[in-house]
Amino acid sequence: MILDATAGNRTMWYIKDIEGIIYIDRTTELERKPTIFCSNEQTPFSDNMFDTIFYDPPHTWGNKTDFHSYPRRTEEY
């Protein structure tokens, strides 16, 4: 059994409804509803229930609070 722990609208899947995959997400405003609405931090599943877990956290492009800046290298290589 497979768990997609950050299902969203299932954009990473070519086939959107695959038997044997449980899709979870806590967002209710989705075009494709998850199998179960829940946070991936607290799921209703027991340990070792899944063979594979996909975890692709949401991206917040343009959100300045999530932007990581690294010091600029000033010396020549």
The domain ranges of the chain are: 1-43
**Confidence at residue 32, expressed as pLDDT on a 0 to 100 scale:** 93
Q: What angle do CA 18, 57, 73 make, to 5 degrees?
A: 140
**Other CB atoms within 10 Å distance of the CB of residue 44:** 8
Question: In the predicted model, is pLDDT for residue 70 greater than 80?
Answer: no
Evaluate whether 23 touches 10 at the Cβ level (below 8 Å): yes
What is the token pair recorded at 22? 């449980």
Q: Give pLDDT, residue 46.
A: 94
For 19-61, the pLDDT digits (tens) are 999 999 999 999 999 999 999 989 999 999 999 999 987 655 5
- The bridge status of strand 21-25 relative to strand 52-54 is unpaired
